[in-house]
């Protein structure tokens, strides 16, 4: 009698059962990993922008501002940071860039709509650094605040800007 090699129906069913259990456990964990990676990436991008704003202000010796912008050329009031932003040299303490030459960098809306970036009242629209590397309002007053970066889950990150202008990152719960 000739032996045929192959799988029996029972072996195939057991293999499919084990594979489906592994996928059922693995896919939610993978989705959580992807969301956490997006949250970390967005936080790092915004933190890098804040560091660039601070270093440009020190290098140039005058105020440099970061503001929310939906079109990449003017500051937009009423929008949040996830809609986009512009970084501009601001020696005259203006609420808008003085022209295209004063714009140093443009950040467009985040590609992932599941991540929201918003600041509390002091840092909701403008963040400015002076020549000493300290944050201040356009009026010259002290500026401190917190930017919240939230994913669809309740997990999030907060960038806290101190009175010295140094940003630091911490975890936060988003509701």
- Of 56, 64, 66, 74, which is closest to residue 117 (Cα–Cα)? 66
pTM of the model: 0.82
Q: How confident is the model at residue 22 (pLDDT cuts 50, 70, 90)?
A: confident
Rounded to the nearest integer, the mean pLDDT of the chain is 90
* Bridge pairing between strands 135-136 and 126-129: antiparallel
Which pLDDT value is given to residue 34? 86
Q: Which residues contact 79 (CB under 8 A, 6 or more apart)?
A: 68, 69, 70
8 Å CB contact between 129 and 165? yes
- Of 54, 46, 45, which is closest to residue 128 (Cα–Cα)? 54
In the predicted model, is pLDDT for residue 6 greater than 90?
Answer: no
CATH number of 10-60+110-173: 3.55.40.10
Three-state DSSP string of 70-131: CCCCCCCCCCCHHHEEEEEECCCCCCCCCCHHHEEEEEECCCCCCCEEEECHHHCCEEEECC
């Amino acid at each position: 009698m000739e032996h045929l090699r192959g799988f029996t129906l029972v072996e195939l069913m057991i293999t499919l059962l084990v594979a489906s259990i592994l996928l059922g456990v693995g896919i939610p964990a993978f989705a959580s990993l992807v969301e956490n990676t997006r949250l970390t990436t967005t936080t790092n991008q915004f933190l890098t922008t804040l560091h660039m704003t601070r270093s440009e202000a020190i290098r140039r010796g005058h105020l440099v501002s970061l503001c929310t912008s939906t079109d990449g050329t003017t500051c937009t009031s009423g929008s949040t940071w996830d809609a986009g932003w512009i970084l501009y040299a601001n020696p005259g303490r203006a609420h808008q860039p003085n022209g295209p030459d004063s714009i140093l960098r443009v950040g467009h809306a985040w590609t992932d709509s599941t991540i929201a970036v918003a600041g509390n009242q002091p840092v909701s629209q403008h963040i400015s650094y002076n020549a000493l590397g300290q944050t201040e309002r356009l009026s010259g007053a002290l500026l401190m605040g917190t930017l919240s970066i939230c994913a669809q889950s309740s997990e999030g990150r907060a960038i806290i800007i101190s009175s010295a202008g140094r940003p630091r990152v911490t975890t936060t719960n988003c509701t």
